[in-house]
Amino acid sequence: MSEAAALIILQLALKYGPEIGLAIATIFAKQTFSIEEWTALFAQLKTYDQLMADAVKRATPPA
């Protein structure tokens, strides 16, 4: 996967120039994440009761 990503970056850099390649490579090489990004990731966690309530909603036919 990482080799494929590197190849894509290289191809884009060869086609569109180093600036575009650099911009894309920077995204792939992202090593740190902001507190907001971490918070958003953990916000995907639900409580057990939330999961059950969602399932009840899915099972309830729309009025």
Nearer to other proteins, 30 or 63 (CB): 30
* Least distance (Å) between residue 63 CB and other proteins: 18
Q: Which run of H or E residues covers position 62?
A: none
Chain residues binding other proteins by CB under 8 A are 2-3, 5-6, 9-10, 13, 17-19, 21-22, 25-26, 28-33, 35, 38, 41-42, 44-48, 51-52, 54-56, 58-59
Q: Specify whether the CB–CB gap between 28 and 9 falls below 8 A.
A: yes
Q: Which run of H or E residues covers position 44?
A: none
Nearer to other proteins, 58 or 63 (CB): 58
